[in-house]
Amino acid sequence: MARIELSDLAHSYRRGASDLGDFALKPMTLTWRQGGAYALLGPSGCGKTTLLNIISGLLVPSHGRVLFDGRDVSHLPTEARNIAQVFQFPVVYDTMTVYENLAFPLRNRGMMGGTVDRRVREIAALLDLTEELNRKARGLTADAKQKISLGRGLVRPDVAAILFDEPLTVIDPQLKWELRSKLKALHRALDLTMIYVTHDQTEALTFADTVVVMHDGRVVQAGRPDELFEKPAHTFVGYFIGSPGMNVLPASVAGNHAQVAGATIELPQSYEIPAGKRIEIGIRPEFAMLARPGEGLPVRVERIDDLGRSRLARLRLREHAVAAGVPDGLGEIGETAGLILQPGHIHVYADGARLDGR
């Protein structure tokens, strides 16, 4: 396994492009730790596949370099990079048994005898494929075939990295749930560098130690799942991660006070606001609570969603929509109410980027 560095990397599919708007990947510098579990998360079109293809060698970046353990591999083809890949759809040999399918990547690299057998059985056990080892792949379900694909990706102990490209998309929901946590356990057991591409936040947050969030060709935050939740570095991260995402409201901020929709709220820290910036405050629905009229900010209750163990209010604060928790005894649709924001969880953003207060 290897440490992977992206050094001043950028990519445009248009030859000779100089306008950043023409870049599918805007300039980025990132290091992926040896043995780390990473997720690349972002909406469709944000550049995940482009970045993955550059790491795997399917695409040569138009700018910058990719380094594996300090060695420039930017121009090396996939075969020369010693990486394993698992795709959205199963890649298995139908006429081979499950055992032969798993052994193939090892034999292909010159491994033989007992070493192959031990490794195949270890991976089969981790993926609950032991019972199927002697069956031909042809007769198996699509789910089982995708497990074999995962096994084929995971089987080589000497790879620089394993790249997963939305590997659970075609899996049945119940098995998807199982495989999500299994992949995390596999990472712990096998200690390989893994990069997992997805637009599904649950998959990314379950699998990764570090989630790299992409938006419009940029890396907007790379951090632990709890950091993305507690301290979204960008309003996009706050909004994209969470269910529902962070409330973002236009505000004006002076010192440790913010003016939001005509009301003043206290901030946990004091901010120096750069001149001419678009300022917003962000607070997750988990830290916003419906209250009685006259308490906090004045809102109107538009909808109440029953989530089983709790209720979520959809509120209107002047022209802005806000989501918040609902205490017992409150939450009549159409009523005027209050909204209390927990000060310690309010973030301040300038042009989308989180500001640190003092």
**Residue 50 interacts with ligand ATP (CB under 6 A)?**
yes
Strand (E) or helix (H) holding 313: strand 311-317
Closer residue to ligand ATP (CB): 196 or 349: 196
* The residue to which tokens 């709890």 are assigned: 226
**Residue 24 interacts with ligand ATP (CB under 6 A)?**
yes
Distance (Å) of CA 222 to CA 8, 48, 163, 214: 16, 14, 17, 9
**Residue 85 interacts with ligand ATP (CB under 6 A)?**
no
Strand (E) or helix (H) holding 173: helix 173-190
Does a cis peptide bond (omega within 30 degrees of 0) precede residue 27?
A: no
CB of 45 to ligand ATP, least distance (A): 4
Q: How far apart are CA 154 and CA 196, in angstroms?
A: 13
Count of positions on this chain that bind ligand ATP (CB under 6 A): 11
**Residue 13 interacts with ligand ATP (CB under 6 A)?**
yes
DSSP state for residue 59 in the 8-state scheme? S
**Residue 199 interacts with ligand ATP (CB under 6 A)?**
yes
Find the residue with minimal CB distance to ligand ATP. Answer: 49
With CB under 6 A as the contact rule, the residue among 16, 21, 44, 114 that binds ligand ATP is 44
| Closest C-alpha to 55, from 65, 63, 46, 44 | 65
Binding to ligand ATP by CB under 6 A, coded x per residue (else -) over 292-311, reads --------------------
Which region, judged by CB under 6 A, interacts with ligand ATP, from 45-53, 62-70, 253-261, 292-300? 45-53
Closer residue to ligand ATP (CB): 119 or 199: 199
Q: How far apart are CA 135 and CA 137, in angstroms?
A: 6
Binding site for ligand ATP (CB under 6 A): 13, 24, 42, 44-50, 199
